[in-house]
Structure 1
Amino acid sequence: MFDNRFKPQARNLLIKGARPVGFAQPGLPPVLDVLVSADGAILDVAADIAADTAKLVEAKGAFISPGWTDLHAHVWYGGTDISIRPEQGGAPRGVTTIVDAGSAGEANFHGLREFIIEPARENIYAFLNLGSIGLVACNRVTELQDMRSIDIDRTIAVIKENRDIIVGLKVRASAVISGGWDLVPLKLAKKLSRVLDLPVMVHVGEPPPLYDDVLGLLTEGDIVTHCFNGKQGGSIIEDEDLYKLAEDAAKRGIILDVGHGGASFSFDVGKAALERGLLPNTISTDLHNRSLDTSVWDMATTMSKLLSLGMGMEDVIIASSTAPKRAINKPADNLLAKGKPAEFTIFDLEQGDLVVTDSQGARSTLHQTFEPRYAILGAEAVTAHRHQPIAAGEPGHKCPSCGWKS
């Protein structure tokens, strides 16, 4: 069954001259054409397909990968004070699937679904926040003060009613959120995850609880987001015991997610981990309105940062496409097979210098950047490009592909 968010188009779509990467699908031509039906299904993949009457997308040797999937973003625009519109980090940026990471709790999930997820061009899923109010007033009004913040019965009911959209539970395990409540919220989330057979995504940050203790509670399929944060007491490179716990967690099948954000990614931590062979399983932005024009920008720039720190190009693509899909139990194999829904990103890897920062303000110069050209959603080809950030106080600019004024 095809995702009903692929908007039906009147004509077939033909992608010509693209180089496949990240599919792990044997027998693909080094340069290929992809024919997509008007209803979004792949009709043919071959070295050369006649254009006929199909709409034509000329890749001109650009790469084609499974659609970029941002495992951690915040898109409950209007429902929280931190969220952006999906199109600000979605298809016009090359991202075909977005996972909202706990913007909504049980009390306001219905609005996220009706007003954001269902109308969106992109595929959007959600981790439901353990706290009933979610991130309504993020870091100003905590969603996890004490047990009055959590309604277990209603949380279970909302998840059961929205299994097609809700892919897990989100809990922020950090002193700035839960004060001295320590591990109790995570323990509750883990209990619910066992009852509902869903993973937990846990935000790690300022202790308590300790990052060490968080890892000890997680099991295979759970997700640690902000895995390479540089916060005091929460950095895996300032504590050898914690680093070994992180290595052990990865071996146990716990997913290490970048979750860059405005305060949660360090070049030094990422570089040190990569040099020791500890790679993130998934790359995500934690994109929100406080990180959009500061440290994060978009998915392509975040991917480029990991490339610059030593991850291989194909590893970066997998961590940004099929790995996050697997993390939320969505199809991730044989994505170029006939009959499969067409969901791809067409991009270039460009040479040139770009100065960027991490969440601590450390600067780095990227010499290669991922540059999205199209997001393919069914038979729809959305023109894409990297976000162009603006400095505080400067007049906004209008994005030519999504129309959004920064």
Structure 2
Amino acid sequence: MAPSPILIRNVRPVGFTPNTAPQAATDILVGTDGLIKQVGPSLIASPGAQVIDGGGGYVSPGWTDLHAHVWHGGTDISIKPRHAGLERGVTTIVDAGSAGEATFHGFREYIIEPAPERILAFLNIGSIGLVACNRVSELIDIRSIDIDRTLAVAEANRDLIVGIKCRASHVILGSWGITPVKVAKKVAKILKLPMMIHVGEPPPTYDEILELLRPGDIITHCFNGKAGGSIIEDEDLWDLVSKCADQGIRLDVGHGGASFSFKVAEVAIERGLMPFSISTDLHGHSLNGPVWDMATTMSKLLSVGMPFEAVVTASTTAPMSAVGLKTENLLGIGTKAELTVFDLVGSDLKVRDSQGATATLKEMFEPRWAVMGSNAVRAARHMPKEGTAVVCTCGAHN
């Protein structure tokens, strides 16, 4: 079927200028080539156009999930992209290390290239990636890393690989400590790419990891509540994290099955430490609880005191900038349309964090449409069925 023009009516742009209030309601016309043709009030629909009624809700740059796992079939933990992508309001999924150098070719051919969403990837420093996540560690010892092949795969896939991923906690590394983080950072430096580091149960300690990072690198699971890994249990660590964030090290939420605490997030935000980016760490053990989707994760950050506009920025242009995507003039004439249409609605939904603490969300982000070029997809939050939640109690899953 040939693409048709898309007319989005009556939406308030937000997030196109970071951390600013929504603009007045407008219409947006997208051509059959997927490019924005007009922006303004009371636009006339082109013949045969698909009309989307925004109902006075919001339109933002396409939601970008900086940490998910979508190498479905190639790892035992990944989900299908559709469960995290356009149908959930997300136009860009960044896979956080599901594939290593030995498996990335399959990830590219069978998942990334066919997907309607944009999928980018942090390449796992461990050659096998998350093939059998935590049942078989990708970082048992130095035999798990092939620097030459990792460099070669990253160079051959520069269009998709946006950084190097290393999971740095004792349930993954055993007694190996900080060494794989050092190796990963060296590889990232050679490639001139950022590094994403998973922080969790020490060793290595959060402090040791931060000493290796540079502006542009990413700490994911920044608000985890694990003993020895929480930023609010140690004032020296708090001061160091705050200093590093001020210097350009990026704090990413990475909710996941075991890595987000309402208490840690609320205290941090109250003290002025905002996450750079909001991400889900969606995978097979977090989809049906406690994460669900991007919109619910955004709503959780809103509930603990993060301003609405800051939540939108941390879910759009901030993560886009972290992986080298264009962040300027996203509503400009001639720009490819990558948009999320959503509402903010009243709610009494009870949710939990990764430690089992519960909260009632008074406001919810509700995705309505995701527009990727000339493709407009109806979007909605994930609604897990009763009894489908998978709860990880071992602490090993993200």
TM-score, normalization: structure 1? 0.93
* Cross-structure match for 2:360: 365
Aligned residue in 1 for 2:85: 90
Change in 2 beyond 3 A, CA 1:132/1:71: same
Q: Which runs of 5+ in 1 are unaligned?
A: 1-7, 395-406
Give the Cα–Cα distance (whole angstroms) in 2 for the partners of residues 393 and 236 of structure 1.
32
The aligned amino acid for 1:304 is S
- How far 1:189 sits from its partner (Å)? 1.0
CA distance in 1, matches of 2:376, 2:148: 42
Matches within 5 A, 1:4-403: 9-24=2-17, 30-53=24-47, 54-392=49-387
Write out per-residue CA displacement over residues 1-43 of structure 1, whole angstroms, 9 at most, x where no aligned residue: xxxxxxx9522111111111111189x9611111111111111
Aligned equivalents of 1:96, 1:172: Cα separation in 2: 25
How far residue 237 of structure 1 moved from its aligned partner, in angstroms, is 0.5
Is the Cα contact below 8 Å between 2:3 and 2:375 reproduced in 1? no
Is the contact made by 1:9 and 1:379 (CA closer than 8 Å) also made in structure 2? Answer: no
Give the AA of the match of 2:29.
L
Whether the 8 Å CA contact 1:293–1:391 is kept in 2: the answer is no
Q: Indicate how the Cα distance of structure 1 residues 130 and 261 shifts in structure 2: closer, same or farther if over 3 A, else same.
A: same
For 2:31, the aligned partner's letter is S
Query: CA 1:368–1:359 in structure 2 vs 1: closer, same or farther (change >3 Å)?
Result: same
Q: Alpha-carbon deviations, 1:341-366, whole Å to 9, x = none? A: 10000000000200000000100000
TM-superposed CA distance for 1:392, in Å, is 3.1
Structure 2 spans left out of the alignment, 5+ residues: 390-398
Within 1, Cα distance between the matches of 2:333 and 2:359? 42
Report SS of the residue matched to 2:242: helix
- Give the 3-state SS of the residue equivalent to 1:388 in structure 2: coil
Paired letter, 2:286: S
Superposition deviation, residue 272 in structure 1: 0.5
Distance, in Å, in 2 between the alignment partners of 1:215 and 1:197 is 18
Secondary structure of residue in 1 paired with 2:313: helix
CA distance in 2, matches of 1:334, 1:181: 46
User: Quick one: which amino acid aligns to residue 218 of structure 1?
Assistant: L
CA–CA distance in 1 between the matches of 2:224 and 2:258? 8
Residue type at the aligned position of 1:158: V
- Contact map agreement 1:344 1:375 (CA 8 A) in 2: yes
User: How far 1:91 sits from its partner (Å)?
Assistant: 0.6
Percent sequence identity is 61
